[in-house]
Amino acid sequence: MKSRSHKRKSRLKRAAEMLHPSKGREARRRRSCARRRPPGNALKLPIEQRKLQEDRRVSAVVGVGNGMTYAPEVVESLLSMSLHEVIIVLDESQSQAFEHARSCKGAIVINQPDILSAGAAHVLGAEVSTGEIVMFMPGDRIVTEEELALYIEACSQGADVVLQDLSGRLPAFKYQSREMRVRSFLNRIMGREDLNASSLTELPHALSRRAIQCMGSFRLATPAKAHGLALAGGLKIRAVSAAPLAPESTKGSEKGMDMSESSLAEEILIGDYLEALGSMMERLGPSLTLAPPSRKVLAARRNRR
């Protein structure tokens, strides 16, 4: 039984809607939308409708050095987005790229006389950046606004480190490169098997200001070690589905092959991951254990074959 006061309020509301029909229809529409809307963060817009959140300051760092490829359209695409700042880090080997970067209005250009590695360029970019979220971008591939929104949204929901999700895009284990296997092993031994081979060595990725302060910007000089530190430091790490993995990252290695430049780079990365693993073993000691996979995980692996 409804109380008299409730009935009186209902009659007054209906009378008000009769006097102002448009307001009544708008109120009924709002109530209907509120009933259909899922609770909490369950409301998700389609990717094509997502836009960068202008209330979050986002810095984009493009590091190009040591012979890495620079595509002018990458920077031009970033400058067209609603980002807080775009930082380009170059070394002396990128003279043509420097001339183009200087001509881009709104970009912050850092030109180093020494030859830079990708990690060193990220260190400089992180130290100069002032955004709450720092996106580290590839210099040879355009990242769309929809793809960028995935990383920013994950950081806005509390993630400190947002990586590119490689699950489902890697070849079978026997065709994976040694670097990919070491990446997966490090994630698994730290209890993050869900990350698969995702790592800070893969671009793009995003770091919150808190993550940079906790790890120290100088740690970004060696992305593999920084990744291990993020795992051990209790930072919130997520992986989001974005662009497909580059074909050269999925190539396996065969015994007896010549030590080309690419294989030397792979050996260096593997050494960095092994050093990160050794640091984790020293830091965590007996608590660093490799738990056996669950039956669900084993079934998923078997079904992928």
pLDDT, tens digit (0-9, with 9 covering 90-100), for 135-160? 999 998 899 988 999 999 999 999 99
Q: Residues 6 or more apart from 160 whose CB is under 8 A from it? A: 207, 208, 210, 211, 214, 230, 235, 236, 237
Grade residue 299 by pLDDT with cuts at 50, 70 and 90.
confident
pLDDT at residue 258, as a whole number: 39
| Per-residue DSSP letter, 142 | P
Token look-up 């190009």 returns 64
The tokens describing 301, both together, are 């692996």
pLDDT at residue 242, as a whole number: 62
The tokens describing 208, both together, are 């919150």
CA distance 204 to 148: 9
Query: How many other C-beta atoms lie within 10 A of the C-beta of residue 256?
Result: 4
Bridge-based pairing of strands 58-64 and 133-137 is parallel
Total residue length of the chain: 305
What pLDDT, in 10s, does the model give residues 197-250? Answer: 999 999 999 999 999 999 999 999 999 999 999 998 889 999 997 655 454 444
User: How confident is the model over 9-32, as a mean pLDDT?
Assistant: 56
Token look-up 């970019």 returns 125
* Phi, psi angles (nearest 5°) of residue 160: -90, -35
Q: Let me know: does 89 contact 124? Beta carbons within 8 Å.
A: yes
Q: How far is CA 217 from the centre of its chain?
A: 17
The yes-or-no verdict on residue 124 having pLDDT over 90 is yes
Residue 297, SS3 per DSSP: helix
CA distance 131 to 59: 5
Ranges of H-type helices in 20-133: 21-36, 72-79, 95-103, 118-128
CA distance 128 to 20: 56
Q: Let me know: does 214 contact 301? Beta carbons within 8 Å.
A: no
